[in-house]
Amino acid sequence: MNPTPDTSTAGNGGNFDPRQAAALLDQTTQQTRRRLEPAQPWLLVIRAVVVLAVFGAVWLNVRGQHPYQHPTAAVIPVVIIFGVLNLVATVTVARRATAGVSGRTRMRWAEIAVGAVIWIAVFAVMPALAGAGVSDAVVYGWYPVTVPLIAAGLAWAGITAARADWRRCSIALAVAVTGAVALSAGPAGAWAVAGVGLCVTLLAHAAVIVWQQRRSVVRP
C-alpha cells in the first residue's frame, strides 16, 4: 500500500504526490463506506448462520410427521426470540452507522414501524386461520414460513425502490422469491427451502457489500 500523508497539518498540495492522492482517495472512500453502511457484513453472516440453524432445527423437527402437524412448542419461543433479536440488532447497528447522516441512507422510524407491523400482523392471523378450521399443514407449515417472507420482502422492496436503493431492493425481492419458492416444497420442506434460501441471500448480500466497500475509486 502506498504511504498516505499526514493530513492533520496539510494546508496545500505542493508536495502531494498523485500516487499518495490516489491511495488517500481510495482509503478514505473505503473507510467511509464501511463506517456508514447500515447493514454490516459481519451481522449478515451471523444472521445467515442463525437462520440456517433455526429453520434447519424446525425442519428436522417436522420432517417425519405424516400427516403434518406442527413444530414442537419448544421451537416457538426460539423463533420469536430470534425474530426480536434480529430486529433489535438490525435497527441498533443501522442507527449507529448512520448517526449524523440526513437523507435516504438513514432508516426512518416509519419504515421500521412498517416492518414490525407486517411481522406482527402476519403472525396475528395464525390463530384466526386455526379457528377457521384451516389445516395444520397451512397454519403451522406453509403460512408461517412463506407469508412473512413474501409480505416483508415485498414491503421492503417497495420502501427501498422508493429510495432508489437498488441493492437492498434486490435483496428484499430475493427474500420474497425465497418465500414463493418455499410454497412449492410442502409444509415440512418449506422450512428447509426457506432456511437455505435466506442463508444464501444473506451471505450474497454480505459479499456484495464487502465487494462494494473494497472497490477502488481510482482504478475501477
Partner 1 sequence: MTTEELDPLIHVPTRLKIVATLAALPDGDSLSFTRLQDMLGLTPGNLIIQLRKLEEAGYLSSEKTRNGSVQKTTVALTSNGRKALDAYTQALRGLLNGL
3-state secondary structure of 99: coil
Question: Between 24 and 138, whose beta carbon lies closer to partner 1?
Answer: 24
User: Is residue 13 close enough to count as binding partner 1 by CB under 8 A?
Assistant: yes
What is d(CA 79, CA 177) in angstroms, rounded to the nearest whole number? 21
Q: How far is CA 57 from the centre of its chain?
A: 20
Q: What are the two backbone dihedrals, phi and then psi, of residue 130, each rounded to the nearest 5 degrees?
A: -60, -40
Are 57 and 78 a contacting pair, CB within 8 Å? yes
- Binding test (CB under 8 A) with partner 1, winner from 3, 10, 60, 162: 10
In terms of Cβ atoms closer than 10 Å to its own Cβ (0-12, 13-18, 19+), residue 126 is: middle
Question: Between 28 and 92, whose beta carbon lies closer to partner 1?
Answer: 28
User: Is residue 161 close enough to count as binding partner 1 by CB under 8 A?
Assistant: no
Question: Between 3 and 127, whose beta carbon lies closer to partner 1?
Answer: 3
User: Is residue 2 close enough to count as binding partner 1 by CB under 8 A?
Assistant: no
Helix or strand holding residue 156 (H, E): helix 143-162
Question: Between 17 and 85, whose beta carbon lies closer to partner 1?
Answer: 17
User: Is residue 91 close enough to count as binding partner 1 by CB under 8 A?
Assistant: no
- Binding test (CB under 8 A) with partner 1, winner from 81, 88, 113, 218: 218
User: Is residue 109 close enough to count as binding partner 1 by CB under 8 A?
Assistant: no
- Binding test (CB under 8 A) with partner 1, winner from 49, 60, 88, 101: 101
CB 96, min distance to partner 1, A = 11
The one segment of 20-28, 110-118, 139-147, 172-180 that binds partner 1 by CB under 8 A: 20-28
What is d(CA 50, CA 111) in angstroms, rounded to the nearest whole number? 24
User: Is residue 66 close enough to count as binding partner 1 by CB under 8 A?
Assistant: no
What is d(CA 77, CA 54) in angstroms, rounded to the nearest whole number? 11
Q: Which long-range contacts (CB under 8 A, 24 or more apart) does 19-23 make?
A: 22/218, 22/219
> Cell 422510524 appears where?
109
Question: Between 25 and 75, whose beta carbon lies closer to partner 1?
Answer: 25
User: Is residue 24 close enough to count as binding partner 1 by CB under 8 A?
Assistant: yes
Task: Say how many C-beta atoms besides its own lie within 10 A of residue 60's C-beta.
Answer: 13
Q: How far is CA 118 from the centre of its chain?
A: 15
The one segment of 18-26, 41-49, 133-141, 144-152 that binds partner 1 by CB under 8 A: 18-26
Residues of the shown chain interacting with partner 1 in the complex, contacts defined by CB under 8 A: 4-8, 10-13, 16, 18-22, 24-25, 28-29, 31-33, 35-36, 99-106, 165, 217-219
